[in-house]
Amino acid sequence: MSHPVLVTGSAGFIGFHTTLRLLERGETVVGIDNLNSYYDPALKQARLDQLLVHPSYRHHTLDLADASGVAAVFAEHHPKRIVHLGAQAGVRYSLEAPGTYVSSNVTGFLSIIEGARAAGCEHLVYASTSSAYGANGKLPFAPSDGANHPLTLYAATKIANEAMAHSYAHLFGIPLTGLRFFTVYGPWGRPDMALFKFTRAILKDEPIDVYGEGRMSRDFTYVDDIVTGIVAALDQPATVNPAWDATAPDPSTSGVAPWRILNLGAGQPVPLMRYIEVLEEKLGRKAKLNLMPMQEGDVVNTEADVSATLAAIGYAPSTPVEEGVGRFVDWYCNFYREN
């Protein structure tokens, strides 16, 4: 029998979709999630309920920062492949609750890479973020440009993960791939993210807060495309890059460790106002706009350069926002029965 895949954050938005995809292709999946109350735990439980009906899914409700608890999960299941998505997400909340980010994202990450070391892990794929690009204004964002100027502690913890990953890949030969996700949206999405908040408000005929006075663009990426990228990356472990030059080091690969950083984005930035327009079309209602200034820690534009991801793992995202937003609206209306 093949070893199970460990997915952390399995009751989360992306973790849920990833777990389903892995189960659908016949994998056994062990999930870890503490179902914390950063947003409505009932939504996390509803996702988890969908996974628990599957006979090949095992769940552990556990805090990632609990090193001995995580070690026990590794000792019980011996996962050789890991998809680490459990983290305190959200750019803005990191200004309010910095300690949570260090606990879940840094201490939690250490628990997972220590587990991977003990288990003789064949590949560990983990979530990083487009926020890592921070003050970098060179568009599109490419991992080979590096990411050294984070604007929030959230981004800083994710960059810390990338650095911790390099050290463990080097010291212990564990292949590690960091995936920088760009604004992921879709069914079962997060209530703290724009699409969810906008949909809820528009259906209640309430105004929506539009930051940057709407003059922003995002590389909105449909969740199925992200999951396809995660699974493709998982199947093709990171290797040492023989062409890497230590005197002019490429920040996205390594000559001394099986380690790499890849973007997972649509590669197609969409103006925020166009995103809202598509949502209005799908809902059949007009939004009342409350134009607001930029928020602290936010960047104006994001755009993913996905050429290296295509070359490394054959990743080619395919879902336009017109399709993806429609699928979100269908899910939302069905799940909350507000239509």
Instruction: Give the residue nearest to ligand NAD (CB).
Output: 12
Nearer to ligand NAD, 230 or 284 (CB): 230
**Active site (catalytic) residues:** 154
Q: How far is the CB of 225 from ligand NAD (least distance, A)?
A: 12
Q: How far is the CB of 287 from ligand NAD (least distance, A)?
A: 21
Nearer to ligand NAD, 14 or 125 (CB): 14
Determine contact, residues 119/79, Cβ cutoff 8 Å.
yes
Contact region with ligand NAD (CB under 6 A), list: 6-14, 240-248, 255-263, 311-319: 6-14
Residues composing the chain: 339
Stretch 23-62 residues interacting with ligand NAD (CB under 6 A): 32-36, 44
Interacting residue with ligand NAD among 127, 194, 195, 230 (CB under 6 A): 127
Q: What is the amino acid identity at position 28?
A: T
Note whether 64 binds ligand NAD by CB under 6 A.
yes
d(CA 210, CA 233): 34
Name residues whose C-beta falls within 8 Å of residue 12's C-beta, 6 or more positions apart in sequence: 33, 44, 47, 85, 86, 89, 190
Interacting residue with ligand NAD among 108, 175, 229, 265 (CB under 6 A): 108
Which phi and psi angles does 222 have, rounded to 5°? -70, 140
- Residue 290's DSSP bridge partners are 209
Nearer to ligand NAD, 65 or 313 (CB): 65
Closest CA relative to residue 254, chosen from 150, 167, 149, 157: 167
Note whether 13 binds ligand NAD by CB under 6 A.
yes
Task: Express the helix, strand and coil content of the chain in percent, nearest 5 each.
Answer: 45, 15, 40
Q: What angle do CA 254, 256, 259 make, to 5 degrees?
A: 45
Interacting residue with ligand NAD among 4, 6, 15, 227 (CB under 6 A): 15
Specify the DSSP class assigned to residue 253. B
Q: Which residues bind ligand NAD (CB under 6 A)?
A: 9, 11-15, 32-36, 44, 63-65, 85-89, 104, 108, 127, 129, 181, 183-184, 190
